[in-house]
Amino acid sequence: MSQQPPDRSTPARPARPDASMSLLNNVMDHSLDEGYVEASARRKADGSAGLPRTLKSKLGLAAGLVVAALVVTLGAAEARVSAPVVAKEREELIDRINAETRAADTLESDVDELRRDVSERQRKALEQHGGDQGELVALLSGATPVEGPGVKLVVDDAKNTDQGGGGPRESSGFADTGRVRDRDMQRVVNGLWESGAEAIAINGQRLTALSAIRAAGDAILVDNRPLVPPYTVLAVGDRKNLAAAFRDSADGQYLNALKESFDIRTTLTDQGKVRLPAAPSLIVRTAEPKAAGSDAAESGKGTS
């Protein structure tokens, strides 16, 4: 049996290019899940699709604005109602603060008055019970003001020295920064005492045998009271001999070295009359009774 040759007159149909991508074609053709399609169809059939989305958004925005306006209006109304109360409470608080401030000022004034009274009584006690040396005790303790001839010594920092910098004033040597230091003033005062000064004051602060000259940061303290340059030192004594003795002393030479080497400014002048105040406060350290039968007790030393 012979085989028939194939019919070459009808060409074979070509295969589709995407025949092997049936899954992707299905996904592209059915992008929306069938359940969603059915639900959308039901909503359309029931007429429950509601208002258009844009209209719903506008209505929601309008409702939000209304609520916000209502909240702001209520807040403003409440603030308007409570404003007088707040203002009244503020005025009452200010009145209380002012009253307490006046009371504190009154108490401070009373304390200062009591301090002055105590100091005055201590000075009188030193004068009355000092015996034959009552005036000398009062002078040395700084219990009374002093007036008489003397010298005026002004010590100041170098001209171009910055007052706000340069480090602390404590030093064991020369004022190498061009600034007067506490140790410099200590040597000046000790030199004046050694040269014959009977009483000394720095910038109006009376010194006694127990006065302290120290430094705190950039400030020089005399008995814990800060001073600012220039430092004016007044000393009561024989003005001619006192000035000459101080210039020739080791401390006077030290001050002259500061002037020549570090431009510390100093001036020393004779004064026909200088007045020194009394020490701000005194404390009686010791007291010894006189011999039996004496009417008064002898008061000892005092300090500022």
pLDDT tens-digit map of 286-304: 656 565 554 444 433 433 3
Q: What is the pLDDT of residue 231?
A: 93
Residue 179 falls within a domain, yes or no? yes
Q: What is the pTM of this model?
A: 0.52
Between the alpha carbon of residue 208 and those of residues 9, 73, 182, 235, the distances in Å are: 142, 74, 17, 12
Residue 46 falls within a domain, yes or no? no
Residue 156 falls within a domain, yes or no? yes
Q: What is the pLDDT of residue 304?
A: 38
Higher pLDDT, 72 or 160: 72
The pLDDT mean for the chain works out to 76
| Local confidence band at 7 (pLDDT 50, 70, 90 cut-offs) | low
Average pLDDT over residues 154-163: 80
Cα gap 234→153, rounded to integer Å? 6
Higher pLDDT, 248 or 75: 248
Q: 267 lies in which domain range?
A: 145-276
- Statement: residue 212 has pLDDT above 80: yes
Cα gap 137→126, rounded to integer Å? 7
Residue 32 falls within a domain, yes or no? no
Does residue 266 contact residue 152 with C-beta atoms inside 8 Å? no
Residue 34 falls within a domain, yes or no? no
Task: Name the domain count of the chain.
Answer: 1
pLDDT tens-digit map of 19-62: 555 666 666 666 556 666 677 777 666 654 445 557 777 777 88
Q: What is the pLDDT of residue 250?
A: 93
Q: What is the pLDDT of residue 106?
A: 92
Residue 248 falls within a domain, yes or no? yes
**Window from 8-12, 124-128, 132-136, 269-273 with minimum mean pLDDT:** 8-12
Which CATH number goes with the domain that contains 226? 3.30.70.1880
Residue 171 falls within a domain, yes or no? yes
pLDDT tens-digit map of 72-94: 887 777 777 667 777 788 888 99
Q: Count CB neighbours of 299 within 10 A.
A: 24
Higher pLDDT, 239 or 125: 239
Q: What is the pLDDT of residue 21?
A: 59
Residue 24 falls within a domain, yes or no? no
